[in-house]
Amino acid sequence: MSDRFAIYPSLVDKVVFVTGGGSGIGASIVEHFCAQRSNVTFVDIDAAASAELCAQIGPAGARTPRFVHCDLRDIALLQTIVSSVGKASGPITALVNNAANDDRHKTQDVTVDYWNDRIAVNLRHQFFASQAVYPQMKSAGGGSIINFGSISWMAAQAGIPVYTAAKAATHGMTRSFARELGQYNIRVNTVVPGWVMTKRQLDLWVDDAANELIDRSQCLAGRVQPQDIAAMVTFLASDNARMCSAQNYVVDGGWV
């Protein structure tokens, strides 16, 4: 983590749980919380990338995270891991529901099985991770749940209709959770990334036409990087954001 990012004393020793933390935006989130000296556990389906991330963070002088392998479509396993982290490390007081997959697809090709799988990958686990962590946060006197949306549905993006359906639903879920859990001092917000320059995006989709679209659509020059999203996440997890809840925090260079 660059020294230009803020350090939050309230994040020291905070028990943080991140989904999809092995690569991309998630890896940057894990790195930033470790640099804050938080107690971080993350889950991911990619064991090799996750192990490599853990190996890189320790020698950099940050607190080493704990990785647990999990396919987030297995809700029982996810909730078991959340419970075990609470028992081993103390109550989770920051949950980052980052994991997602923006696989491209056409409306006419979507089957019921594909629909169910994409909803499981992009929405369902956010609900059930929040459900599992809620008792821990309540017992701790509060916490921060950070869900991940997307500007894709706001920008009426084609080619990913099930993904945009899941991401639009996330915003409604966030606001309902915020109202329901606020009485326990649990804050719930949605981070809304723009087109973030992860390795996956660069390898698969960021070509000359995409760069022209980004230049035309963003108010700001440059490209949104994973660390830009991680900076927003650490702020929302910190006590500096103590009165922030039920909101969408868009980090997109001014696209929507």
> Which residues are catalytically annotated?
163
Are the CB atoms for 60 and 83 separated by under 8 Å?
no
Are the CB atoms for 196 and 229 separated by under 8 Å?
yes
* Strand intervals (E) in 20-170: 39-44, 66-69, 94-97, 143-148
Neighbours of 109 (CB within 10 A): 7
Are the CB atoms for 94 and 143 separated by under 8 Å?
yes
Enumerate the H helices of 37-103 as residue ranges.
Answer: 47-57, 75-89
Going 40 to 81 to 146 to 156, the CA torsion angle's sign is positive
Tell me the pairing of strands 39-44 and 94-97: unpaired
Cα–Cα separations (whole angstroms), residue 47 to 173, 241, 245 = 29, 33, 33
Instruction: Check residue 67 and give left, alpha or beta (phi > 0: left; psi -120 to 50: alpha).
Output: beta
**H and E: helices and strands count for the chain:** 9, 7
| Closest by CA position to 78, among listed 63, 68, 89, 87 | 68
